[in-house]
């Protein structure tokens, strides 16, 4: 038996992950919802791999009064990179399955996990800047108040309730990281049994 051969279920899962990551390019990755007495139906903003959708123009108008920057997709370098990064990882997953290569599995797992950590940190950094770097000449200024939306979960910002959590694409990315990590461990243990 080849020591670098993958289990058949590992190959199946890698192929599924590859297809799923392609799907993640075209669906929302993250959702941010706002609710307030003047907006009982709520406001939603969706972050995709290459754009922002939803009612972000209304959110921009509201945020203008408290000095927050407007959200414009063309200002985010991430939107120029993320679709290609997801396509790259999709191709690597499928390549590992097709070539039956444990080495490629280890590489794609390591790089994807590093990418995931970097992605989360970059998103948090953007949220921090968005909520703290305020216009000092805004119409409404609350001394000591910042408006950083939560990275994950719930936060009260003035009279707005804000929720932030993964959408379909984000769930795919998180699941991919977890499954790749598990597959890499399982395959590493299999390789040790085979060589012993």
Select from 155, 84, 170, 91 the least CA-distant residue to 123.
170
Do 179 and 17 contact (CB within 8 A), yes or no? Answer: yes
Between 53-57, 67-71, 79-83, 99-103, the lowest mean confidence (pLDDT) is in: 67-71
**Boundaries of every domain in the chain:** 8-195
Give the whole-angstrom CA distance, residue 179 versus residue 4: 19
- CATH domain 8-195 topology: Butyryl-CoA Dehydrogenase, subunit A; domain 3 (1.20.140)
175 in Cβ contact with 18 (< 8 Å):
no
Per-residue pLDDT reduced to its tens digit, 12-44: 999 999 999 999 999 999 999 999 888 888 999
pLDDT for res 1: 44
**H or E segment and range at residue 166:** strand 160-166
User: Tens digits of per-residue pLDDT, 138-190?
Assistant: 777 777 778 888 999 999 988 889 999 999 999 999 999 999 999 999 999 98
């Amino acid at each position: 038996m080849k020591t670098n051969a993958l289990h058949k279920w590992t190959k199946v899962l890698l192929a599924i992950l590859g297809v799923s990551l392609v799907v993640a390019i075209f669906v929302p990755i993250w959702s941010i919802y706002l609710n307030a007495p003047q907006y009982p139906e709520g406001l939603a903003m969706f972050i995709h791999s290459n754009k922002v959708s939803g009612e972000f123009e209304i959110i921009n108008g509201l945020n203008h009064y408290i000095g927050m920057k407007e959200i414009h997709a063309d200002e985010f370098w991430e939107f120029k990179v993320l679709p290609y990064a997801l396509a790259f990882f999709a191709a690597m997953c499928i390549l590992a399955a097709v070539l039956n290569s444990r080495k490629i599995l280890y590489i794609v797992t390591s790089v994807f996990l590093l990418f995931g950590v970097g992605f989360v940190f970059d998103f948090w950094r953007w949220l921090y800047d968005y909520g703290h770097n305020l216009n000092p000449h805004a119409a409404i200024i609350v001394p000591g108040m910042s408006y950083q939306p939560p990275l994950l979960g719930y936060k009260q910002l003035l009279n707005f309730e804000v929720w932030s959590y993964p959408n379909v694409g984000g769930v795919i990315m998180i699941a991919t990281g977890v499954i790749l990590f598990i597959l890499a461990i399982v395959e590493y243990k299999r390789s040790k049994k085979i060589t012993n």
